[in-house]
Structure 1
Amino acid sequence: MYFGGHMHKSEPIRLIKDLFDGQKINLPEEPGVYVFWWLGDKDTLMKSNRTQILKGPKGEAVPITFEDWWPEFLEYPCLYVGKTTNLKKRISLHLKRRCKGRLHTIPKTNEKLKAVTTSCQLRYGIEHVFPEHDEPLELISESVGFSYLSDFSSGNSTVERFFTEDLLIGKYRPWFNIDSER
């Protein structure tokens, strides 16, 4: 049984730009749990647009502020934790590298809008916290890191990935996994 091990240590974390060889993504096409990390300057992240308005029960506005709430044992701030049946494909969907410029228009009122796809939470989150950045893929490439675990060898790997993702969300406190209660 796996519970996150060393996914938060700098050794398995790779900059997004280092995952690619031209257009090819150097990741396995296998199931796993993955984490996106902020490797850039933490002050830059903390000075970003950290306010977001979620939709709560009955469409009620629920204001939140992303804080420096990461546990001290983390070397880098955690942005997003996810699980997938295909790491290579899922990361491609998160980044949408063929779509240059901004994919999302973030309202000045900071409402969380529906993302272009349900699979690009990282891209949407970066575009929200850095609304003035015209080329979010450049920012992601240079400032975001990635780690993953794909060693779920039990016959119940789907269940193990589910519980591991939930555990890491609770443990790492990623900004872009937050959603309102319904």
Structure 2
Amino acid sequence: MPHLPIVETRLWPDEAACETFARELARVLSNGPGLMTASIELHGSLGAGKTSLVRHLLRALGVTGRIKSPSYAVLESYSLRDWGGEGDVSHFDFYRFADPREWEDAGFRDIFTAPGLKLSEWPEKAAGMLPAADLQIWLSVNEDESRSVKLVAGTERGQVLLQGLGGQE
């Protein structure tokens, strides 16, 4: 495999493109051994679409119940077995963290070392505490409301995910 990190860029002209990407990511995550134990970081300003992407991804993974933003709770957990799937998903939103040590105090280290998919919004607020992300997704809003998307594979697992996603949509 090539040296890391591997970077790919995309353009999502609309919400449908985000949803299509989420379905493709769900397919790739579900088709490889150990891929549902990935750590994915979501970067971008307020309103860039991080939570929307997570909601589309959870729907694509089979979640049919209410999908809440973890903005206040910091963590929302989903057992995909509740919807006929396999694995666990932990959705973090570190936006309200004032100090990265809050991550340790909250006991998140155990969650990040356990099997399961970890989706982290605002990971920079827990800087130095999170393990290396397999895949980073950087979202930015363009003047026409489309999204520029940068995908960065930082581990071999992330590289497998990125290769499974194929090229530009």
Fold-level similarity (TM above 0.5)? no
Tell which has more relative contact order, 1 or 2 (C-alpha 8 A, sep 6+): 1
Give the TM-score taking structure 1 as reference length.
0.26
Higher helix share: 2
Rg bigger for which structure? 1
Higher strand share: 2
